[in-house]
Amino acid sequence: MTALALPTGVDLHLYILGTLLAGAGVTVVCTAGALVLSVAAAALLAGLQSFGGVAARVCVFAYVEFFRAIPVLALLFILYFGLATIGLKMSPMPAAILGLGLNGAAYCTEIFRAGILAVPSGQSEAARAIGMRRWQVMRWIVLPQAVRIVLPALTNLAINILKNTSVASAVAAPEIMFLARNLVNETYLSPQIYLSVCLVYLLISVPMMKLAGWLETRVGVTAAKR
């Protein structure tokens, strides 16, 4: 069996660019999926931590400490290779999204908890004193302020998840680092390829930061009008 001949010259650069862009698309999907999972799980966990009983708070504390202590790579190996030994075979992308999401949820829970605690308790007490129910206090008093407080931290979390997708190449998820490594093995152009990867990450993360800044301003303006 003969190896496929690689293009040369301009065609080679276009081939590399097309491959990296395809990997960048997978990276964005993986980041978005893990971030949605992180935020959804953290919202539930933070609610239990703030308003649940002792048993609920202990369980949330154990979850946060456990998943913050485990390296993301080790968690991906457990999900992809470890579960396969007991018959629970996962595809690379679902394993990557689940692993990054579980890890991100542990950090996001603390972000949400800090945001809720940052809202002065006197506001909640005053709202309860005039007859508002607890869910109404959360919906109209606490959450609008907490969201604006946690937006910068959520931006950092999203960027960290984006960068952590690089370890998903260890379980053969076809994200940008996995494809970059294959390109290096094919072309031996490691400096050019990995520099291009850095630029792609930069092109993804900078708009994310700009969007977060716009959202923070927007939320602040909306809150000021209320």
Q: Which domains does the chain have, with CATH numbers?
A: 10-225 (1.10.3720.10)
CA–chain centroid gap for 2, Å, is 41
Question: What whole-number distance in Å separates Cα of residue 38 and Cα of residue 94?
Answer: 14
In 55-94, which positions are buried (b, 16+ CB within 10 angstroms) versus exposed (e)?
A: eeeeebeebbeebeeeebeebbbebbeeeeeeeeebebbe
pLDDT value for 20? 94
* Nearest CA-CA partner of 97 in 176, 168, 42, 20: 168
Please give the pLDDT value at position 211: 84
Residue 2's pLDDT band, with cuts at 50, 70 and 90, is very low
Percent of the chain with pLDDT over 70: 94
Check if the beta carbon of residue 131 is closer than 8 Å to that of residue 211: no
Residue 128 is predicted with a pLDDT of 85
Q: What's the whole-number mean pLDDT along residues 84-103?
A: 94
Reply yes or no on whether the pLDDT at 225 is more than 60.
no
Rounded to whole angstroms, how far apart are CA atoms 146 and 58? Answer: 23
Residue 157: which of 23, 37, 69 has the closest Cα?
A: 37
Over range 153-176, report the average pLDDT: 93
Q: How many CB atoms lie within 10 A of CB 121?
A: 9
pLDDT in tens, 50-71: 777 899 999 999 999 999 999 9
pLDDT score at 1: 40
pLDDT of the residue at 29: 96
What pLDDT score does 52 carry? Answer: 79
